[in-house]
Structure 1
Amino acid sequence: MSYSVGQVSGFAGITVRTLHHYDTAGLLTPSERSPAGYRLYSDADLARLQQILFYRELGFSLDEIGTILEDPDANALDQLRARHRRLSEQIGKLQRMMEVAERAMAVQETGVRLTPQERFEVFGEIAFDLSYATEAQLKWQDSEGHRRSMASAAAHTKEDWARIMAEAAAWREGLLKVFDGREPADGEAAMDLAEEHRAHIGRWFTPCPPEMHRRIGDDFARDPRAFALVVPPSQQRPGLAAYLRTAIEANAVRHDAATEGHPRNSHEDSDHRRGVVR
């Protein structure tokens, strides 16, 4: 059976001009001509076109494809292996470029204005996950607390961040000590560490009432990306995120109990019920 140029173009999803170019290049010459002189392609021609398109998809040049198809001594498998190596190298290069772009985007999302070298010096293993930072931005973009936290992060100097991370490291050491020592998550030692974490947030980023701290603790237990911001994966233990959430909850209950009997004004009481950060 024979097929016209238009039919083959529709079958293959390529333009008539491309088929004419393959013919001119000697890569795919139709086996037949109509009485009027129009190109007609046979089933064998279509099979050859399928091979050409396969190699083109892999990035082979037309000359390389011609060699593979015409030279009986050409080893198509060797050609494919060589192409596979080049593609792997290109993929690796693109992945590295993506990582660089993501780090640059993460700087914008997190509000941290440091050079890559400064970020490495200050944060070490602690890394900001771009996807988490972006989701947090979308989730909390209407929150006054989140806006204030981002503004504070943007204003911190390298020296500020060094102090922040030193505090965080000392706090993390204490958390691991009570966890490894099997102190109860709702015990005094664990609750004191939870309160220390809450104060750290308030001191450096935004006021953090117990209800907000509860939500942060839930994020730690639910999302490994969030927990990695306070405990790098190399220092994590199974159950540690849930332990911290329990300690935060117990500390929030303790805080609520301590404030019972202390009257608030009407605005404070309304804000507390709605979880508003003033």
Structure 2
Amino acid sequence: MHRKVKEVADLAGISVRTLHHYDRIGLLTPRTVSDAGYRLYDEEDLDRLQQILFFRELGFPLRKIGEILDSPSYDRREALGLQEKALIEKRSRLDRMIVTIGKTIKNMEGESEMSQQEKFEGFDFSKNPYEEEARQKWGDEPVDRANEKMAAIGPDGREDLGRQMDGLFKKLASLRDRKPDSEEVQQAIGEWHEFLNGMGHTYSPEAFRGLGQLYVQDDRFTKNMDRYGEGFAQFMADAMSVRADRL
């Protein structure tokens, strides 16, 4: 059975725009085209989409997902086993975080005491063991420099980076009524570019532009960024594109 892009989007709970993006970057390109020129997805395409979404849920970037799925050593059954293990661990960690939230509320209301250690039960952003295992099986690549830096700076350093990022986003969000090519906006977007380059990966102009496009092409990015103000994701994409052109 073949399905059109809208049917697949509804089935998977993602946007048509996301599927078009996957097609455009070669991550998921349906092999069948109707007489009218529509892309048609078959069962193998849907299986690949399922894998893409599992990897996305586990925090893999799209580029890495493509490398894994196209690796000669990739095995779907093996991948599903690893994904199941990783998601069970993620569920366990989220359960611990929910308990921590409950304890924190009771502590705030004076119903119970809470140790400093208890405040952070369930948090662990230092590593993604599943990603390391997957890389060893389907790429045998070293950990990305950004991940290495995040692990090296420790919890305090990551918290500080989070505050810096939040401050930059708030500053940029306050400028979203300005034109993306205005001097004030470009100065602020330059600060964002420099911040990213300090994270252990150098963003070329085209990579920086691509990241901006991801803000509007990936629904998760758009939703999170638009918390800083309606249309913020699109504003960032436009401003980052202008900077890329100027560089």
Q: What is the TM-score with the length of structure 2 in the denominator?
A: 0.43
Q: What is the TM-score with the length of structure 1 in the denominator?
A: 0.39
